[in-house]
């Protein structure tokens, strides 16, 4: 045994590492153990200030200033007093800042907070109280001549009036920006053809835009054609859109073709009839994400317009669905009528790598009915009729994993064999007479050599971690 004279708890960097794994409450307790522990745990305690949880009003300015240097993330800063707390803390290394402004807010202090942190901020999410707010965009940029540049990568702003010049200025001074989210922002349009001037800065780094359709294509009057916001983002890949207004599909198609040739991924939270129409405005999409209740026959048809290029077909889901520790019930109105129609997606989209429809249920008879041509499938989230308990799901996955190992063994000499498994190969692993739902599902999964992540109702199983 090595010397036991040192305890890892006497090593400051180990204590600091431990501090990252304790809850806030436990961190507060640990900080009171002794001075060394205070030093180690204080940054974990002050790392994130979420004003939905804390007030901190009563804290003495001296204490705020003493620990403020540890603050990295501020959420839900709204009231004047909260802004003041952050100002008094002298925090100057913030990475994330979320502001939801009240009506009587003094904006000057908010801009002071931003200004003090404009060399470290990576994420800003700011919602203004009313559209007449004036945004001092200069607060976002480090003072020129100091050599510092903005590190902002993700910027969200809502409810604001801004000039096109100021908007261009934001883009110009935030070179690291990759994600932009704007909603309810009044932004004067440019007349058609005027997209080369100073008011029309093209940002080559932004790849993801979240904005309602009507925000991007603001229609002032029917006769007046305007340049869309897309003109600012020549390298845009993903557009997450919502909205209600009818914008001419032709106009969207023209603008996308003209301005954003790389745009291949859409997240649609528009109402279903509008989504169906909008999907036709794009060509050769690789990723389509729609709301989970939207997979009607029309929607599937609209998705299949992209069948030759589609890599991922997904429904937007509760991000915590993989944490469920019971198998949730399928709500009937979601499955009705769409059960068989969604089969068309794996049967027709040959390139498909991810099918993530956790709110839909398939029937194993349908699955076996016609071949899925997406041989490169890697991710599958779906429910299967009858596979409705944790035990059954786990058994099916276990059979699949065991089958996979058995197949690997028989193919040792022939590693590069990419051809489909024949039925006889499959039956050699899981005999034909094994006719339980689990065996049938496992047999289907074995057809996809690259499949590695599955979910059938509870817990995502990833072969990377379970193999």
Partner 1 sequence: MKVTLESSDGQVFTVDKEVAELSVIIKEMLVIEQANQDHPIPLLNVGAVELAKVIEYCEHHRNDPTIDDDEDYDSRKKPIEMDDWDKQFTIVNKEMMFELILAANSMQVKPLLHLGCRYAADIVKRMSPTEIRDLFQIDDDFTPEEQDKIEWEKQWTKL
Site for partner 1 (CB under 8 A): which residue of 39, 61, 67, 183? Answer: 67
Least distance in angstroms from the C-beta of 323 to partner 1: 11
Site for partner 1 (CB under 8 A): which residue of 39, 61, 69, 73? Answer: 73
List alpha helices for 297-436, DSSP H.
Answer: 297-304, 332-335, 338-341, 344-348, 364-369, 390-410, 423-429
Nearest to 376 by CA among 354, 400, 345: 354
> Within 77-106, which residues bind partner 1 (CB under 8 A)?
95
Least distance in angstroms from the C-beta of 85 to partner 1: 11
Site membership for partner 1, residue 55 (CB under 8 A): yes
Which residue stretch of 31-39, 143-151, 316-324, 377-385 sits at the interface with partner 1 (rule: CB under 8 A)?
Answer: 31-39
Site membership for partner 1, residue 409 (CB under 8 A): no
Least distance in angstroms from the C-beta of 122 to partner 1: 11
Q: Which is nearer to partner 1, 435 or 466 (CB)?
A: 466
d(CA 28, CA 138) in angstroms, rounded, equals 38
What are the b/e assignments for 79-98, b being 16+ CB within 10 Å? Answer: beebbbbbbbbebeebbbbb
| CA of residue 281 relative to chain centroid, distance | 23
What element of type H or E holds 113?
helix 107-116
Nearest to 127 by CA among 165, 168, 181: 181
Nearest to 382 by CA among 434, 425, 346: 346
Close Cβ partners of 351 (under 8 Å, ≥ 6 residues apart): 286, 308, 309, 310, 311, 374, 376
Which residue stretch of 10-18, 75-83, 284-292, 436-444 sits at the interface with partner 1 (rule: CB under 8 A)?
Answer: 10-18
Site membership for partner 1, residue 26 (CB under 8 A): yes
Close Cβ partners of 391 (under 8 Å, ≥ 6 residues apart): none
Least distance in angstroms from the C-beta of 241 to partner 1: 27
Site membership for partner 1, residue 72 (CB under 8 A): yes
Site membership for partner 1, residue 2 (CB under 8 A): yes
Half-sphere exposure of 70 (CA within 13 A, CB side): 17
Site membership for partner 1, residue 152 (CB under 8 A): no
Q: Which is nearer to partner 1, 65 or 143 (CB)?
A: 65
Site membership for partner 1, residue 35 (CB under 8 A): yes
> Would you tell me which residues interact with partner 1 (CB under 8 A)?
1-2, 4, 6-9, 11, 13-14, 17-18, 20-26, 28-35, 37-38, 44-45, 47-48, 53-56, 58-60, 62-63, 66-67, 72-73, 95, 465-466
């Amino acid at each position: 045994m090595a010397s036991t004279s040192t305890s890892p708890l006497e090593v400051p960097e180990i204590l600091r590492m431990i501090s990252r794994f304790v809850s806030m409450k436990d961190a507060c307790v640990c900080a009171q153990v002794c001075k060394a522990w205070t030093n180690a745990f204080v940054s974990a305690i002050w790392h994130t200030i979420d004003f939905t949880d804390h007030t901190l009003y009563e804290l003495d300015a001296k204490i705020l200033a003493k620990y403020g240097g540890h603050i990295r993330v501020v959420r839900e800063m709204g009231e004047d007093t909260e802004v003041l707390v952050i100002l008094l803390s002298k925090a100057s290394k913030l990475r994330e800042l979320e502001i939801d402004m009240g009506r009587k807010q003094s904006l000057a202090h908010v801009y002071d907070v931003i200004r003090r942190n404009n060399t470290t901020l990576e994420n800003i999410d700011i919602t203004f109280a009313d559209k007449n707010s004036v945004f001092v965009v200069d607060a976002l940029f480090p003072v020129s001549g100091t050599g510092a540049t903005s590190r902002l990568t993700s910027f969200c702003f809502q409810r604001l009036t801004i000039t096109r010049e100021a908007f261009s200025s934001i883009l110009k001074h935030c070179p690291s920006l990759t994600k932009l989210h704007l909603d309810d922002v009044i932004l004067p349009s440019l007349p058609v053809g005027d997209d080369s001037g100073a008011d029309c800065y093209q940002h080559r780094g932004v790849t993801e835009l979240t904005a309602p359709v009507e925000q991007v294509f603001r229609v002032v009057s029917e006769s007046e054609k305007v340049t869309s916001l897309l003109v600012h983002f020549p390298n845009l890949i993903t557009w997450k859109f919502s909205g209600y207004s009818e914008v001419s599909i032709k106009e969207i198609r023209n603008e996308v073709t003209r301005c954003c040739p790389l745009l291949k991924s859409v997240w649609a939270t528009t109402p279903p009839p509008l989504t169906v129409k909008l999907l036709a405005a794009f060509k050769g999409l690789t990723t389509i994400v729609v709301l989970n209740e939207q997979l009607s026959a029309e929607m599937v048809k609209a998705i299949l317009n992209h069948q030759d290029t589609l890599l991922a077909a997904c429904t937007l889901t509760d991000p915590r669905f993989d944490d469920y520790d019971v198998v949730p019930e399928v709500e009937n109105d979601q499955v009705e009528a769409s059960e068989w129609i969604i089969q068309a997606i794996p049967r027709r989209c040959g390139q498909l790598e991810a099918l993530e429809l956790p709110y839909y249920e398939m029937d194993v008879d349908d699955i076996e009915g016609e071949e899925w041509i997406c041989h490169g499938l890697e991710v599958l989230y779906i429910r299967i009729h009858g596979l409705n308990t944790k035990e059954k799901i786990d058994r099916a996955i276990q059979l699949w994993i065991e089958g996979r190992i058995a197949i690997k063994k028989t193919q040792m000499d022939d590693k590069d064999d990419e051809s489909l498994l024949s039925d006889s190969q499959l039956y050699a692993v899981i005999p034909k007479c094994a006719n339980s739902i689990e065996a049938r599902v496992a047999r289907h999964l074995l057809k996809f050599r690259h499949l590695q992540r599955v979910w059938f109702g509870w817990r995502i199983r990833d072969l990377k971690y379970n193999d």
